[in-house]
Structure 1
Amino acid sequence: MRQRLGQHFLRDPRIAGEIVAALPPDPGRVIEIGPGQGALTRPLLDRYATVRVIELDRRLASGLAGRLSRPAGLEVIQGDAVDFDLDRLASQGPWLVAGNLPYSVATPIVRRLMVRLDLFKTLVVMVQLEVAERMVARAEAPARGLLSLEVEAHSRAEVLFEVPPDAFAPVPEVTSAVLRFTLIEPPEGIERVLRLASAAFSMRRKTMANGLAPLAGREVVQGWMSTADVDPGRRPQDLQLADWLRLAAAAPVGLS
């Protein structure tokens, strides 16, 4: 991976094999994000009929097919997964997704992909361990935040295993982790939930009543919390997704 992007090349074939093994067999096509020198691409090609890769680095993208002896089934796209047209990237889908994501852009990439259930089925990706913990944090966990809520609403996510720094070159200063996201249909009203949660998590040290009071006034918020059966003394990171859904459904007109 390119260091300027927080990216380090995977060099441990055992880790690559475990990532591939964590993917389901169907559909028989996978998109790899950031193939780099092809350490993960090789085992993906051994298992799947079609492997479509997207690589930002022009030199790496142009040389990948030759490095892998120009295998049938490999499609190389030179582009940036952060803003590339997903309908074009995942044409003829749905697709599986695998990748050793650059640390600096892992979160925006996951956020883009997990809301496109029409294009993607399962993601198995490697990110920085600290980011992985934030992504899967449940209610009352210290790492719980808006990202955790988004992930919970759009997927069944789990950390599969940690990856030590010496599995990469150059060696990063942090531990990584591999996650699997099985995408699901989000609950109705999730857009309202995320708007409210964004406001609340921006003041995560405050109680829900104090954090949301600027939106409607403390008295209105207290009644709103009561209607939604949400304790106004709790903090946003303490709430379950079900609590947020009730809160959004009971929100005063104009606030959701």
Structure 2
Amino acid sequence: MKNRILLNCDMGESFGVWTMGDDEHAMPLVDQANLACGFHASDPMTMQRTVDLAVQHGVSIGAHPAYPDLIGFGRRQMALSVEEVRALVLYQIGALDAFCRAAGTQVAYVKPHGALYNELVRNDALLEAVLDACASYRQGLPLMVLALADNRREIRLADEADVPLMFEAFADRAYLADGQLAPRRLEGAVHHEPERIIGQAVAIARGEPFADIDGKPLQLVADSLCVHGDNPQSLAVLRRLRAYLDAS
């Protein structure tokens, strides 16, 4: 029998007086919260508040490290060495984990953000650097990566690094034929219609095919399903998905 899929959301992405997302109302609806660590979004007070909110609702906390690109929200590629990437991922895990430990918990997994997340699909050395950061920080700390049509590469490299993997799919993003996310520059790369988001999410949760960006069938096997917190429809979608998953 297929394991129950988890529901996750990118959160803690506010900065100073600027607010991103509705974390207060979204947090009770998810199983996992991917919390920004200060490089693409967030600040110490936001990190502390969001960790406390996750603990209050019994939500698993994931570090959401990114390139140091606050202005570009971590969505721009950066020419960093693998040594720099390993260090910046370690730095961000440790920063978030400090707030977790102060709240009586710990970082449960790592999910890279934005351009860093997407580049892991194509760059072996970069993926190995992030895996090494996870393994160096704590034995058994899982890395969340994109569920593709074929994840044998990711499984092989993670096995070599002795790092558990979690596979993630997206309810509100369009896909290419191989399971990679459609680049945001393409028209239709982000779904905004609630019914389409719900339909794709339900298909993924059931392990059924859904339409890629070209309308062709794609099937993914995922452990966790993401709804982006910055999508205007996210709260309504999360409520409906939570009800569906609880009833399944």
Same fold (TM over 0.5): no
Name which one, 1 or 2, has greater alpha-carbon Rg.
1
Into which bin does the TM-score normalised by the smaller protein fall? Answer: 0.3 to 0.5
- TM-score w.r.t. length of structure 2: 0.34
Higher strand share: 1
Higher normalized contact order (CA 8 Å, seq sep 6+, divided by chain length): 2
- TM-score w.r.t. length of structure 1: 0.34
